[in-house]
Structure 1
């Protein structure tokens, strides 16, 4: 087996920057009590001002006042990890969050689908960059080794045992997953890297240190499995972006909306689902949320399409008060069936497929402005169709005309010729629309073919439709 480790060294900062339209603005994350606030993380723009993690807020403000602050939110970090696990589930059935701020993926079984590791790795990096997460990626025969190598390397791929021993042997003792106390004790003994640790007598290590030290060494070398709990995607998607100021216009909501719909698309791709209905919540101060429901006629998961549809619905919504946060909740996540496409697309490049055009028209004009033609499972001809799209299996029957008259018209017997029939239709006794008719295929003197019936017990012939 081969395991990929995706280390996310700036997960808290990246999670906050994803919610901001301008990530290049100096930003620091604060932790600690209100009386002694300190800088937990800084972005590159803040570091350029001389700010660094560990500084007190007072010291940082003495250097510069031109930076924004946000709390160091552990709950937000957990939400980001869960989202990334859902994203990684697209590429591997075994995804684990065993280590904090880290994603483990078993990729050996995925290489046949996504190509050799260099191509697979490039795809992972491209998507992580698009999602806004800085990362380091390593590959090793076991997850513990991949995690340890990510502490020092980025892009290293180790395939066999000999190369693994050599790469692990160069790791400093404080980077191989041992506790700080054990690493300090080994350093005082003159042991600097893992290769030197492995030359020490195993019995001596067992007497001097706890059993966890030998267990960790065995895990790194692949001699003991790492017990992990694998991720399973939930059946509900919920994303929330808290805005930095009160928003009173639709235009200012487009950036968080684009981010939320992109996250929804990534989540759907991970669990191989689509979305058919979701709700956009606009949170206000001291009043209930404004809700923008978005419904689709078929399951979709393309990020650009979801954004355009939600944008169209949002622009029709009047904002009753300034918006403080945006939340997107999706419960209806049916299986996704990709659109059938031909190898050589004859559709003009700038035109949209019918499904996307239909949804855009519904978003812009309203659900009732765009109607289709659907079928109903009913033998009565006037009730077998609907103005709503529907996927219904029709009951078996004979030929039916393409043009059905709104009201049947009487015919004179001598003006038409009966070609076939009768076909008896008896139905509708349960809803008060009972019919008992004998239908015939007819032909007029001019050669037109029609569909006519006689009501059982009444001899008059009534024209009901025309064949093409």
Structure 2
């Protein structure tokens, strides 16, 4: 087996930055009591002006006042790990959150689906970067070794035990996953890497160190398996973004909305499902949330489409008060059926699938403004079709696509009858009796029409519809 470890060294900072339009501005995350706030993490822009993790807020403000702050929230870190695990579930069915701020994935069984590891890795990195999370990835024959190698490597791939032993032997003892006390004791004994530790008699190590040290050594070498609990994505999606200031316009809501719909699409792809209904909650200070209901006729998961539909519906809402936070909740997550497309699309940049066009029209014009046509079980042409908001059903090719509201007499002398008569007698049970002989005709200009003559009548043909 091969295990990939994806380490997120700045998970808390990335989780905050991805919600800010000014991600390149100096930002520091604060922790600690109100009397002594401490910088827990800083972004590169804040580091460039002299800020460092561990500084007190007072000391940082003495260096510069030109930086923003946000709270370091462990609950948010757990939320981001769950989101990332749900996205990784689309690549592997064995995803674990055993270690903090990282994902473990079994990837050997997935290579036949996603291709060789370089291609697999490139796709994985592309999706993680699109989500806004910095990361390091290593691959090793066991998950414990993959996690330890991610401390000092990025992109390292080891597939056999001999190469793994050589890579681990050179690692400093501080990066081997031991407790701080055990790592300090090894250093004082002059055992500063794994090779020197493994050269010692095992009995001697067992007398000097706790049992967890030997267990960790066995896990690194693959002698003892690491017990893992595998992640299963939840059946609901809910995510909230707290805004940095009171928002009074729709335009300022588009950035968090785009992030929410992108996260929803990534989550749906991971669990191989779509979304048919979801709600966007706009939170206000002293009143109930404003809600934007988004309903689709079929399950979708395209990020751009979800964003466009939600934006169109959001713009129809009059904001009753400034918005403090936005929250997206989706609980209707049916199985996703990919759209069937032709292998060779001649002009893809100028085409729009019917499903997407229909949903955009409904979002902009309203749910009741867009209808499809469906055939009904009635022989009378006037009653053989109906409008509906669901997916349209195909109309028989033997009937015209354009039926006139009122039949019109045909007085053209050079009509050519192509087919007929087809007799339709129906409706005696409801008082709307129809007795007609229908013909497919062609005019002098080449138009094909559908005309009838009442049974027993000697008058002109009555045009009832045109074929496309």
Q: CA deviation at 1:253?
A: 0.7
Corresponding residue of 1:146: 146
3-state secondary structure, aligned to 2:35:
helix
3-state secondary structure, aligned to 1:336:
coil
Q: Following the alignment from structure 2 to structure 1, what is the Cα–Cα distance between the partners of residues 440 and 310?
A: 56
Q: CA deviation at 1:390?
A: 3.4
Contact persistence 1:136–1:154 (CA under 8 A): yes
Q: Following the alignment from structure 2 to structure 1, what is the Cα–Cα distance between the partners of residues 47 and 89?
A: 34
Q: Over the residues paired in the alignment, what is the CA RMSD in angstroms?
A: 3.2
CA deviation vs aligned residue, 1:119-162 (integer Å, no higher than 9, x gap)? 21122112211211111110001100000000111111001010
Q: Following the alignment from structure 2 to structure 1, what is the Cα–Cα distance between the partners of residues 273 and 388?
A: 24
3-state secondary structure, aligned to 1:156:
coil
Mapping of residues 143-292 of structure 1, within 5 Å: 143-292=143-292
Q: CA deviation at 1:421?
A: 8.3
Corresponding residue of 1:357: 357
Q: Following the alignment from structure 2 to structure 1, what is the Cα–Cα distance between the partners of residues 424 and 365?
A: 46
CA deviation vs aligned residue, 1:206-253 (integer Å, no higher than 9, x gap)? 222222111111111111111111111111111111100001111111
Q: Following the alignment from structure 2 to structure 1, what is the Cα–Cα distance between the partners of residues 436 and 164?
A: 80
Q: Following the alignment from structure 1 to structure 2, what is the Cα–Cα distance between the partners of residues 233 and 453?
A: 65
Q: Following the alignment from structure 1 to structure 2, what is the Cα–Cα distance between the partners of residues 201 and 138?
A: 30
Instruction: Structure 1: state its 5+ residue gaps.
Output: 410-416, 427-433, 455-462
Mapping of residues 98-177 of structure 1, within 5 Å: 98-177=98-177
3-state secondary structure, aligned to 1:183:
helix
3-state secondary structure, aligned to 1:227:
coil
Corresponding residue of 1:431: none
- Do the aligned partners of residues 402 and 210 (structure 1) sit closer, same or farther apart at CA in structure 2, a change above 3 Å counting? same
Q: Following the alignment from structure 1 to structure 2, what is the Cα–Cα distance between the partners of residues 180 and 15?
A: 28
Mapping of residues 319-468 of structure 1, within 5 Å: 319-347=319-347, 349-375=349-375, 385-390=385-390, 442-443=437-438
Q: CA deviation at 1:420?
A: 7.7
Q: CA deviation at 1:449?
A: 7.3
Name whichever of 334-343 and 259-268 sits farther off. 334-343
CA deviation vs aligned residue, 1:82-102 (integer Å, no higher than 9, x gap)? 110011011111111110000
Instruction: Structure 2: state its 5+ residue gaps.
Output: 409-418, 443-448, 456-461
Q: Following the alignment from structure 1 to structure 2, what is the Cα–Cα distance between the partners of residues 440 and 212?
A: 92
Q: Following the alignment from structure 2 to structure 1, what is the Cα–Cα distance between the partners of residues 440 and 61?
A: 96
Name whichever of 83-92 and 328-337 sits farther off. 328-337
Corresponding residue of 1:306: 306
Q: Following the alignment from structure 1 to structure 2, what is the Cα–Cα distance between the partners of residues 82 and 392?
A: 39
Contact persistence 2:441–2:450 (CA under 8 A): no
TM-score normalised by length of structure 2: 0.86
Q: Following the alignment from structure 1 to structure 2, what is the Cα–Cα distance between the partners of residues 422 and 243?
A: 65
3-state secondary structure, aligned to 2:110:
helix
Q: CA deviation at 1:113?
A: 1.5
